[in-house]
Structure 1
Amino acid sequence: MAHSHHHHHSHGHNHDLKGRNLGISIFLNIIITAAQVIGGLVSGSLALLSDALHNFSDVLSLVISYVANWLSKKKASTNKTFGYKRAEIIAAFVNAATLMVVAVFLIIEAVKRFYNPEEIGSDLVIWLSVIAILGNGFSVLLIRKDADINMNMKSAYLHLLTDMMASIAVLIGGVLMKFYEIYWIDPLLTLLIALYLIYMGYDLLKESTKVLMLFTPKSIAVQEIVNVISEIKLIKNVHHVHIWQLNEEEIHLEAHIDFKEDIKLSEFDVILEQIEEHVYYEFGINHVNIQPEYGKCDSKKIIVQD
């Protein structure tokens, strides 16, 4: 079975920078969480306490992302042949799931508070939400660049972004409570924050689940790949195809190829190189594993359930 791949190196420097940015964000969020818990208890603001809870989930999610980022740098070994390349995908899955859990908890608390509104010390709410906006805003800027290309960093980014938005909502609520004594705004904002968390978290949960389940990336059409490979001279049939994503940077293709002639290994190598070029430049697949066959009696279906 011939195996080959085009390498996409994720440079150590980028990993170190991601790690440093996550470290700074963890430190800032610990401070914000502690301040909000104290402030929420003193002022009686549910929105502030729910924001603190979300901030605490941020701290946990950032720690998970930090550990996953560190693990993904570890080398492969005989009992871990892929290394820890899936660590960041698992972190993204866990963080997306926690976003959903936090959201459900917030909805339950908000509904309770709607029926039992309480007077809230708005000055403290205003000041603490301003601190949270600044802290989370800085963290969002630190992580934003990596969030576009890395699911793990995106999950951390989403936690921070939604938390910044929650803090802005809490600030608006604090101002309305201070000047207009509209106390029901507190649970209403909590509810809106929770619904937004579900909206954002679900998408990430779905994407990370697809990778963990070895689903074919949605950008890749299996039949198109089969057609492209089948056009190469001497190839009779392409079957038993598997395409999966290992992590953000690696897409693998595995297939059996039936040849029209009993070709030499050196001829197969030339054809393999053609296949690699086609699938890499047209479909972004950078790991190719081909099993050559000649007149073998097996299923010639494109998808075969092993």
Structure 2
Amino acid sequence: MSLKIDKPLVSADWLNAHLDLKQLIVLDCTIPKVSLNTFVSEEKTQIKGAVYFDIKKNFSDNKSAFPNTVLSPEVFEERAQKIGIHQDTIVVCYDAVGTYSSPRVWWMFQLMGFKNVVVLDGGLPAWKASGFPIESIVVNKMQRGNFKIIYQPRKLKYTADVFESIDNKEVLIVDARSNGRFNGTAPEPRKDLKSGHIPSSVNLPFIDIQNNGKMKTETELITIFNSFKNKKEIIFTCGSGVTAAILALGAAIVKLDNVAVYDGSWTEWASTKHLPISL
């Protein structure tokens, strides 16, 4: 019997109990840190049997002018098949930070219409803290899968969509960056990028829905997202589309489904001429 997932988040205990299930694939979604313009991974271990999901090189459109741009549905389908994803696969996403880049991958699969995907709460640190099996970084190759996309375009927003939403009271734009970056009192990490935020947007730093790399409880998240529930649509944005997905994950935990991610986020907005910026 196939195991179906009915929630977006699982614990280390849950994963350990199902780790040997043939249907399950664990994806290491860690984004390597940047050192001297070179990607360097500081983590030397992974969850036993994990497959590396390379967000930067294989699962972003590297022809785009902006970082982390989502792939076309057709290319995503082909590359997901290549790493062994089947229609009945249970995909568990984790990262070495905690719950940081793994929600981005969870959201990508949601965008492609794949529902049997979850995030490991607390990622590798939580897994290690529980004493569960790890291994040195190795390439675990899988047989090609039969994954098929059922594209959900409403989950993805472009700059024009966001611009049109600024004066729409039924749409809420929520920024996952820090208060300092949102208010323009802290510099952007990308050189020469303007500070500030999208007009009419509100600030909910992604760290405010987490505790030590884990997502806050459902009860806590319900309180945080309570003011969002009467909006027709919620658009999450951040620096380059990664931490916006953490907010999307939080919304999914409390069963808000009228959400989308602005893929280009602040990097695209602040780099595009003649767009309004608030401080």
TM-score > 0.5 by shorter chain: no
Q: TM-score, normalised by structure 2?
A: 0.23
Higher strand share: 2
Higher helix share: 1
Which of these two proteins has the greater Rg computed from alpha carbons? Answer: 1
